[in-house]
Chains A and B, each alone.
Chain A
Amino acid sequence: MSELTACEKLELIRHKNRPTVNDYIPAIFTRFMEFHGDRLYGDDAAIIGGIGYLSDTPVTVLAQVKGRTLEENKKTNFSMPHPEGYRKALRLAKQAEKFRRPVICLVDTPGAFCGIEAEKRGQGEAIARNLYEFMTLKTPVISVILGEGGSGGALALAVCDELAMLENALYSVISPRGAASILWKDGTREKDACEVLKITAEDLMRFGVCDKIIPEPEGGAHVSKEQTADSIYEYLVDAVYRFRQADIDTLLANRYQKFRKIGMFTE
């Protein structure tokens, strides 16, 4: 496994050829069909939702969509969801629960969108509702962080039974740039902030936040999309198999404990 620093990883996940869910979904799932809309306000292209087969198991897929071109990114808002994106995800997760399909979340976002409309429609409430509902969703939930796991915007799709991260993916409470501007009043020092924040997959394994690291090809995921997709596929097939064995009460008790136990304090 590579020994890259957090800031080298940051460069890797921002590589212009870094695969996105548009590469992974067709490579991992068969007969995927997309479902649109939150039934409340609209359809957010920053989160794709739908159903398909993982091997021969029907699953629900919820995925944050980074574009590779400016055109794509305009459409998907650089993978920064609005409340309707999170509400669509919740709607489809509830549907998955009803039809006993495991839910696969593919996380790749700098964060939830910050704007007037997002506030008006309750960005905070939308994220909170997902945390609340996913905690007791009566079907297995597996989340994989593909690149950027940006704060609450990522967590809204990461209350799960098991969290995996691609080897070079990062998961952070605040963007390194944001941290730098608060810490040193200087957003350009994001590289320093990167190291301070402890945001690599290895760091997060140590904190008990990340459960599995999925290897990337030497040089990063973009070197071989196929190989990376294969690794994710193998991981998912195994994880879904394992979690489908558990009875629902045990599954939910373990999910609650997974988050319940995180925190460091004395008393």
Chain B
Amino acid sequence: MAIEDLFKVVKARFVDEQPAQTAEKDVEIPQDLLFKCPRCGGVVYNEEFVRAMKVCPKCGYHARLTWKERLDLTADKGSFREFDADMKSLNPIGFPKYEEKIARMQQQCDMNDAIVTGECTIRGYRCVIGIMDSHFMMASMGSVVGEKITRAFEYAAEHKLPVVMFTASGGARMQEGIISLMQMAKTSGAVKLHSDAGGLYIAVMTDPTTGGVTASFASLGDIIIAEPKVLIGFAGRRVIQDTIRQRLPDDFQSAEFQQNCGFADMIVERGMMRKRISNILKLHGFPKEVTGR
């Protein structure tokens, strides 16, 4: 082998886009019957996967939930009161086909934009809750997401309530241009306002928490919890690989990686989440309400 060829091999190894966490072999899988884990590639019966609260039984990856699934797993039954349910996006920079995209997403996801906010109790402890849903345009943050989060924190500051925010996002919503960038400043300002009023903010990072959301309110929790094996980072894996031309370690930007680097207080499994959150609320002296499941 000529020396140049050797370099070619090495170069190919480093430069190649290697989605290390997806062992894609394109096996035809009947929808709704089987679940194929995007992390370990393992295949299990969907029924089993759903019973395990959408956690991969093979590797422990905590898969993405819809906002309804998350709400059901988190809030006491019947305790949720939604805020700003009718808020809808406009098209501030006249981005081509944005309205159509939003309309399609609204129909598909049964929500008006990528976050649902409101008030609920968790094992009897009252809090303001926000749930981002990555099925809606990868839960990117535009005007509606920014405004709802801001109002949620302002409401919580006014009513001396803690905030529990389930974060998931691909980042700022490109289709709203600079307006979406400003939501990072706006939401961070609202977190500060809530914090200065003595409010407790628990951020729960779920899959995937990235980009402008990581670079704003998601990283500003008094307490930051992550679900196991989820993706958390600032820049996309591919962008980094293109910049530095190196293969990235498999666990790069995982919840575990973030905890090792010092950016998550704890990793909590889905089945324990309600209990852990309510214990934290209790520890901060919030009163338990009598109703609740």
Contacts and interface: CB of A to CB of B under 8 A. Distances in A.
B34 to A, nearest CB: 30
A119 B234 contact: yes
Interface string B77-92: 0000000101111111
Contact of A264 (B179, B186, B212, B253): B179
Contact of B184 (A121, A152, A209, A266): A152
Contacts of B179: 207, 209, 262-264
B240 A209 contact: no
A131 B244 contact: no
B250 to A, nearest CB: 13
A119 B252 contact: yes
Contacts of B178: 171-173, 197-199, 203-204, 207, 209
Contacts of A112: 215, 234-235
Nearest to A127: B215
Interface string B228-258: 0000011110011001101010001100000
> At the interface, is chain B mostly helix, strand, loop or mixed?
helix
Interface in A116-135: 116, 118-125, 127-129, 131-133, 135
B109 to A, nearest CB: 17
B219 A196 contact: no
A109 B212 CA distance: 16
Given A125-B219, A129-B219, A172-B178, A265 B185 contact: no
A192 to B, nearest CB: 10
Q: How large is the interface on A (under 10, 10 to 19, 20 to 34, 35 or more residues)?
A: 35 or more
Q: Which of A173, A183, A262, A267 has the most CB of B within 10 A?
A: A173
B188 A135 contact: yes
Interface string B199-226: 0000000000001101111111000000
Contact of A114 (B146, B172, B234): B234
B220 A132 contact: yes
A129 B188 CA distance: 8
8 contacts: A112-B235, A114-B234, A124-B263, A159-B188, A171-B178, A263-B186, A264-B179, A265-B87
